[in-house]
A = this chain, B = another copy of it.
Amino acid sequence: MDIAAQRKRGRPPKRIDGGLETRQALVRAGVIALTEKGFAATGIDDVLTQVGVPKGSFYHYFASKEAFGAELIDSYAAYFDHKLDRWLGDRRQPPLGRLHDFMADARRGMQRHDYRRGCLVGNLGQEMAALPESFRARLIEVLLGWQQRLQVCLEEAQAAGELAAGHDCAQLAGFFWIGWEGAVLRAKLERRAAPLDCFSRGYLALLGATAPEGFGFTKEG
C-alpha cells in the first residue's frame, strides 16, 4: 500500500482533523471486514494492511480487539440507523412504499458487492458463542432499534389505510428482521439476490399489500 511506504517512524505531522483520519480508516475497514467475514475470522493484521497502518498504531487507538469490535458494532449501528431513518421515515412516500424501497436499496447494495458483504449484526449474532459476552446485549439492542423504526412505519401504514387495522405492528416488525437476517445470510451463501426477493415478496404478502409490482405469493394471475 502506498500510504504505508510513505509512513515514517515517530510522531507524524499534525493533521487538521486531529489524527482522526487513521482511526476512522481503521473503523471503516473493520466494518467492511466484519460484514464480509465476521469477527473471529477478521485478523487485526487484515484491517491494518488494508489501511496501511502498522500494528503499533492500532493499539494506540484501541485497547483491544474486543474494544475495536464494540466500536465497529456502534459504527455500523449508527450508519444503519441513519439509513433506516432516511428510507422508512421518508414522508414523501406512502409507508409501505418506503419499506419496499428500503429492501430494493439493500438488494442493490448486496449486488454491488457481489453478495460478499452481509449484515454485520447478523454475522456477529451467529458468532456469539465464540465472542465476548458483552457484544450480545448490544446486538440485541441494535436489532430492537431497527424493529422499532419499522413498527412506526407500519403504524403509519395502518393510519394511511395501507395495512389492515387488525395487524399487530410490533409483531410484524419483529418478524421482518428475523426473516430479513435470514434472507441476507442466504443471499450471501448463494451469491444471488433470489433469497432477498423471495423474502420481500413473502413479507409484503403477509402484510396483505396489494402487489404493486407482481408481488404477492400466489401463482401468477
Contact = CB atoms under 8 A, between A and B. Distances in A.
Interface residues of A, number: 49
Contacts of A201: 171, 175
A17 B45 CA distance: 47
A172 B219 CA distance: 11
A218 interface: yes
A116 B125 CA distance: 12
Contacts of A139: 189
Counted per complex, copies of this chain come to 2
A94 interface: no
A183 B189 CA distance: 17
A202 B203 CA distance: 9
B178 A218 contact: no
A202 B171 CA distance: 8
A217 B168 contact: yes
Nearest to A121: B189
A11 B141 CA distance: 54
A185 interface: yes
Interface in A106-139: 116, 118, 122-123, 125-130, 136, 139
Nearest to A173: B198
Given A123-B126, A172-B202, A195-B178, A136 B166 contact: no
Given A126-B189, A206-B206, 19 more contacts: A38-B130, A125-B189, A136-B189, A140-B190, A166-B218, A167-B217, A167-B218, A168-B217, A171-B201, A171-B202, A174-B198, A175-B179, A175-B202, A179-B183, A180-B182, A181-B182, A182-B185, A205-B206, A206-B217
22 contacts: A36-B129, A38-B130, A116-B129, A118-B126, A122-B126, A125-B185, A164-B218, A167-B217, A167-B219, A168-B218, A168-B219, A171-B198, A171-B202, A171-B217, A172-B202, A175-B199, A178-B186, A178-B199, A179-B182, A179-B199, A182-B183, A202-B206
